[in-house]
Amino acid sequence: MNKISFAKEFEKNGAKFYIDMGLKTENIITKKLLYTLAKQEIEHLEAIENFIIKGQYLEKGKDRDIETEMKYFFRGLKRKDKLEDKLQVYSIALEMEKKGYLQYEKFYNEATDEKEAEFFKFLMGEEKKHIDAIVNVYSYISDTGDWFQKEESRVWNWMSL
């Protein structure tokens, strides 16, 4: 499987996974995170198609990034939702995003031209944002006390409800 085929398949499977898990969870915070991640995986598919067609990727324009999307959602919450009883979705999602990051890093290091390297560096950055989002929301839901003790620059400190 070539690099682009891997990227398309990985992002497609990620979107399907996040949609399926979002439908199964009852926790509204987890649901919002999963649907936001699914939407971004679809945006990554669009970026891959643009790269194939035009030889370049287009960064998101007016769309909100994952932290902004979650921040907007949190503002609408009146209270912290019930503790998620299926927290394993976070570890699965985290492993999936790490796998993508490592594979894109490998493709970046193997890139044969500057445009290809720049594209895989972009995808690495997107996977890193997803990893950070998953870790932040998981930490908040599973152990709020510990979440508050983490270094502020590492967490979304606006999440306190």
**Has residue 69 been placed in a domain?**
yes
Do residues 93 and 37 touch, judged by C-beta distance below 8 A?
Answer: yes
Whether 157 is covered by a domain: the verdict is no
Task: Look at residue 80 and tell me if it is in a domain.
Answer: yes
> pLDDT tens, 46-78?
889 888 887 766 655 545 677 777 776 666 665
Query: What does the buried/exposed string (b/e) look like for 23-38 if buried means 16 or more CB atoms within 10 Å of the residue's CB?
Result: eebebebbbbbbbbbb
* DSSP character at residue 122: H
Residue 12 is assigned to a structural domain of this protein: yes
Helix spans in the chain (H): 3-24, 28-54, 66-75, 88-110, 114-142, 144-149
- Nearest by Cα to 74 from 17, 32, 116, 20: 32
Domain membership of residue 156 (yes or no) is: no
Domain that holds residue 108: 3-149
Please compute the mean of the pLDDT values over residues 25-49 and round it to a whole number: 91
The answer to whether position 126 is within a domain reads yes
Domain for residue 113, yes or no? yes
Region 4-29 average pLDDT: 93
Q: Does any domain span residue 158?
A: no
Separation of alpha carbons 22 and 81, rounded Å = 15
Average pLDDT rounded to a whole number, residues 116-133: 93
Closest CA to 35 of 24, 12, 19: 19
Q: Which residue, 131, 126, 133, 127, is CA-closest to 33? A: 133
| Number of domains present in the structure of the chain | 1
pLDDT computed for residue 59 by the predictor: 59
CATH assignment at residue 34: 1.20.1260.10
